Structure 1
C-alpha cells in the first residue's frame, strides 16, 4: 500500500504543572501531530515534541521539514519500504524528532494494514511496563509531596530527579529529602540535563553516595569530552547518555569515548526503526538501556510504551511514561490509565492511538 499524503498538525496544550530543569522549562505542550495516509484511507499517527533547547527543533521547523522536505520524498513509496524512507529522511541533517515521528506514524500504519499491534511486530515480549515519573526543580518538601502523590495515586515507585542547579547542594538536599522520606520504598535516579561541570558533578555524586541512586544521566555537557571521561571513571553508578545520543552514530561515539556506560532510548527522537538499531547495538556489547521521556503527550507516550514492551532489555527497568499527567488535557479518545505503577499496551492494530477529533480541532493551531 502506497503512502498518499503526509500531514504535520501543530497543536498546543497547557501544562497544569510546568516541568523545570537545567536546560529549560516546559509550560505548554506545543507539539506536532504527524499523520501518514495510505491508499485505502488508513492513517498512521505519531507525536513530535519539539525541544529547541536540546535539539534545536521548533514546532514551526518540524511542520516545515515534514511537509516540505520529507513528504515529497516519501509520498508514493510503499508503506513497508521503511529503509527507503529512512534513507531519504537521512539526506537531511538533524531534525531527530521530525524523523522519529514520521517513522512511528509509518509503523502505526503498517500495523493497521496487517491488523497487528506494532509491539508484536517489533518483538512482543510483554504487554506492560513499570512506570517512572520525572520530578522537576522545586523546594525539597514540594518535590517530596509530588513523589508521594504519584506513589499514592498511581503506584509509581521509581522517580527521576531533575538536578543540575547551582549550587549543586540544592539538588543534593532534594535527593536526601526524598530518600529520608521514603526509605527503600522508592527507586531514585538523577538527570542533570548538562547543567553541572564535571567537577561539580563529581562532588555531588560523592555527597549522594549513601542514597542508593540507580544511575545518573547527562550531568555535564556532551562536548566536555575529557570531563565526561574523568567523571565516568570515578563514578560508582552507571552513567547514562541521553540528549547527547540522538542517533546511533552518537551512541557509538559516546561509548567509545568513555563518556557514558549506558544509553537512554527515546522513540520521540529515534522512532522505532532507529531505536531498534540503538537497542541491538547496546545489547551486542553489553550496554544497558531504559526508555526515556521527551515530555511527550499521550500519543508519544504510547509510542514509548509500544517499543519498550517489545523487548526484554527495555522492559527490565521502569520507563518514563507519566509526564502527560502534568498536562491539562490531551488528544486521545480513550486516555491512558496508570494503575499499580504500570501502563499496559493496548491490544489494537498499530500503536493503539485513537485521536479524539474534537480535541484535536480544539487544540490545533492551524484552524
Structure 2
C-alpha cells in the first residue's frame, strides 16, 4: 500500500449560469483532479476546487504545491500513514484545498484497498443525507423559480440563500419572496460571505426576523472581532462560522471567542482527516454542524456526503450537496442522482465512483 505517484490534473467545465455571491463569481469549475497511485495498482481520487477570493489558492498554485512540495514527501509512504502525510503537508502554510484533495485521495486509496465503502471506514452512521441547494444572487422571481424547480424536480426542501449585497434590502426582499413563494415547510438560511458590516447584518436579520430562518452564516468580515461578537449576541438563530473557521484551531477561536455558535465542515477544505477533528471538536463543544459546499462538482459532492453520512451530528441537517446540478457536464462515469431530496453514498469500495477518461481528456487544460 505504498504511494508511487501523485497526479494533479487541471480541468475546466462551464456552469450553465454564473454563480454569484458577495465574495465572488464563478462561471466554470476550474478544478484540479488529484489521483494517488499505489504499488498495488489502486488509485485514490479527489477534487481540488480553488477559491482564490476565499483562500488565495489558484488552479496553477494547487498544481505547483502538489507537484513541487507535497508529492515528493508522499512517494513511498503507506496509505495507512495519513497522520504522517498530514504532518508533512502541515509544514507548508495555507493551501487548504490542495492538502484536502491529497488527504481524501489517500483515504480513498485506503478504502479501495480494504474493499470497504468510505462512509463505513469513516463511521458508517447512515447511507444518505438530505440535500440543501444554494441559491446565488438573482432577481427575487428568478430565485423563487429556481427553488421551485429544485423542489419539484428533486424534492429538495432546504435552501441556502446567498446574501450580502448593498443595500441589504435587495436580499431581505429575496428571502421574503422565497418564504412567501415556497411556504413554511421549506427550510431557509442565509449566507453573507462577509458582505455586510455587523450593523447592516443586524438590521437585515431583524428585518427577516419573522421568516423562520434556520441559520445565518458569515454575514460580516471574518477579521471584525468585536463586531462579530456583537452581531452573534443580536441573532436568535445559530451563527455559522465558515470562511473564518478553516482549521480546528480557527473553530476553537471562533466558538470560544463568541464570534459563532455553529460550524460548516467542508471536506474540500479540511479533507477527511481534519474534518474528523472539526467534527469531534464540535461534538465536544456542543455546537451544530452543517456540511458545506465549495461549489463542488460531483466528485467533491460524493466526498461531502461520504463524510456527512458517516456521523450522526453531520447527518442531522441537510448538506450542501447539489451545486453540481449547475454544471454543464461532469467527470464521473455514473452521474450522481438526487431522489426525494436525498443524495445516497455509493456502495462500492472507497468513494464508489470512477472517472470517465474520455471526459477528462476533453476537459483537461494541460494538453
Q: Name the TM-score, length of structure 2 as normaliser.
A: 0.99
Is residue 126 of structure 2 the alignment partner of residue 123 of structure 1? no
> How big is each residue's C-alpha offset from its partner over 1:54-109, in whole Å with a ceiling of 9 and x where there is no partner?
00000000000011100001111111000100000000000000001000000000
Mapped partners of 1:6, 1:52: distance in 2: 23
**How do 1:98-117 and structure 2 match up within 5 A?**
98-117=98-117
Structure 1, unpaired ranges of 5+: none
Shift of 1:353: 2.0
Structure-2 residue corresponding to 1:149:
149
Structure-2 residue corresponding to 1:71:
71
Shift of 1:40: 1.4
Q: Name the TM-score, length of structure 1 as normaliser.
A: 0.99
> How big is each residue's C-alpha offset from its partner over 1:157-209, in whole Å with a ceiling of 9 and x where there is no partner?
10000000000000000000001111112100000000000000000000000
Is residue 236 of structure 2 the alignment partner of residue 236 of structure 1? yes
Shift of 1:37: 0.3
Mapped partners of 2:106, 2:78: distance in 1: 10
Mapped partners of 1:257, 1:221: distance in 2: 15
Structure-1 residue corresponding to 2:17:
17
Mapped partners of 1:363, 1:37: distance in 2: 21
Structure-1 residue corresponding to 2:361:
361
Residue 183 of structure 2 aligns to a residue whose secondary structure is helix
Is residue 149 of structure 2 the alignment partner of residue 159 of structure 1? no
Structure-1 residue corresponding to 2:312:
312
Mapped partners of 1:176, 1:45: distance in 2: 41
Structure-1 residue corresponding to 2:262:
262
Mapped partners of 1:305, 1:60: distance in 2: 27
Mapped partners of 1:33, 1:286: distance in 2: 35
Mapped partners of 1:336, 1:93: distance in 2: 34
Mapped partners of 1:182, 1:329: distance in 2: 29
**How do 1:231-310 and structure 2 match up within 5 A?**
231-310=231-310
Is residue 167 of structure 2 the alignment partner of residue 173 of structure 1? no
Mapped partners of 1:256, 1:311: distance in 2: 23
Mapped partners of 1:19, 1:228: distance in 2: 26
Structure-1 residue corresponding to 2:81:
81
Mapped partners of 1:356, 1:294: distance in 2: 22
Shift of 1:352: 1.3
**How do 1:37-56 and structure 2 match up within 5 A?**
37-56=37-56
Mapped partners of 2:156, 2:262: distance in 1: 23
Structure 2, unpaired ranges of 5+: none
Mapped partners of 1:287, 1:74: distance in 2: 35
Shift of 1:222: 0.8
Mapped partners of 1:67, 1:305: distance in 2: 28
The number of residue pairs the alignment matches comes to 367
Structure-2 residue corresponding to 1:335:
335
Mapped partners of 1:339, 1:256: distance in 2: 39
> How big is each residue's C-alpha offset from its partner over 1:290-313, in whole Å with a ceiling of 9 and x where there is no partner?
100000010100000100000000
Structure-1 residue corresponding to 2:59:
59
Structure-2 residue corresponding to 1:214:
214
Residue 109 of structure 1 aligns to a residue whose secondary structure is helix
Mapped partners of 1:40, 1:187: distance in 2: 46
Mapped partners of 2:257, 2:99: distance in 1: 26
Residue 34 of structure 1 aligns to a residue whose secondary structure is strand
Residue 93 of structure 1 aligns to a residue whose secondary structure is coil
Mapped partners of 1:27, 1:352: distance in 2: 28
Residue 32 of structure 1 aligns to a residue whose secondary structure is strand
Residue 347 of structure 2 aligns to a residue whose secondary structure is coil
Residue 349 of structure 1 aligns to a residue whose secondary structure is coil
Mapped partners of 2:110, 2:11: distance in 1: 25
Runs (4 or more) in structure 1 with deviation over 2 Å come to: none
Aligned alpha-carbon RMSD (Å): 0.5
Structure-2 residue corresponding to 1:27:
27
Structure-1 residue corresponding to 2:191:
191
